[in-house]
Amino acid sequence: MRFRHVVITGASRGLGASLARRFAAPGVRLGLIARDEAALAGVAADCAARGALPQVARCDVREAEALARIVAGWEAEAPVDLAIANAGISAGTRPDGRAEGLAALRAQIEVNLLGAVHLVEAVLPGMQARRQGSLGLVASLAAFRGLPDSPGYCASKAGLWAYGEALRAGLGPRGLRVTLIAPGFFESAMGERWVGPRPLSLTAGAAADRIARALQQGDAQLAFPWPLAWALRLAPLLPAAAVDALVRRMAFQVREG
């Protein structure tokens, strides 16, 4: 499947920037959204060098009305046939042992879950009217099991996964595709703040390649790397006390920043 107009949130760095470069091709429109305008401009220049037609917008995905206006303007120029909800933040236990706290937990849910919903709500009317379009929701392997050092992040990604499953079941008969994406560790500024084990970590480019392939194939879901994905998906079948003890041994902290 070849996409002609792709909108990506969190596109200024990391996975979002790698996805933008991955989809950049002659004649492809790219709508790139993030909060860092300077970094967005750099990604857009890379994409333009590949022949793409990038447009950028500085926007916080928590601002539903502003995001909707941006998408409506791009839709008026050309139908969006792929929207990737990728923007995300993380918090977690601090190096001094402090818990992330209510404000950080709320922010993660607002960005990681509600921010994705805001993008979907912005593109969905046009896709439904055309009975055509694809949605990619970037969750995390953390959606499959709550981890003691990152309750807010896990909750936000678990909510996004459940929301995406509901969307996929409801929109499939209407001609729309929804791909749920659960990456493990990959190189990113957000990931580098984590102090602890990062098993089977990938480069952001390698993760983007896998995700782009799943979106082009219209896959229902993608979770990688598979050893971690299977372990976390099967964890609920084991005694809870044993799994709790295991995840406590995987403790990590998050640097300030």
The residues, ordered by sequence, that sit 6+ positions from 118 with a Cβ below 8 Å of its Cβ are 61, 62, 63, 64, 67, 68
> Are 43 and 21 a contacting pair, CB within 8 Å?
yes
Q: Is the model's pTM score more than 0.75?
A: yes
Q: Which of 12-16, 38-42, 194-198 has the lowest mean pLDDT?
A: 194-198
> Are 54 and 74 a contacting pair, CB within 8 Å?
no
Question: 153 catalytic, yes or no?
Answer: yes
Does an H or E element contain 128, and which? helix 115-130
One CATH from 1.10.357.10, 3.30.2130.30, 2.60.120.200, 3.40.50.720 for 5-254: 3.40.50.720
**What would the pLDDT profile of 182-192 be if each residue is shown by its tens digit?**
998 877 655 56
Give the closest residue to 85 by CA, choosing from 43, 47, 113. 113
Tell me: cis bond preceding 151? Omega within 30 of 0 counts: no
Give the closest residue to 119 by CA, choosing from 2, 3, 1, 11. 11
User: What does the block give as tokens for 117?
Assistant: 């919903």
pLDDT at 206: 94
Residue 106 CA to residue 17 CA, distance in Å, equals 25
pLDDT at 34: 98
pLDDT at 238: 82
**What would the pLDDT profile of 163-176 be if each residue is shown by its tens digit?**
999 999 999 999 99
Catalytic residue among 3, 23, 144, 153: 153
| CA angle in degrees (0–180, nearest 5) for 85-88-90 | 160
User: What does the block give as tokens for 175?
Assistant: 């001609």
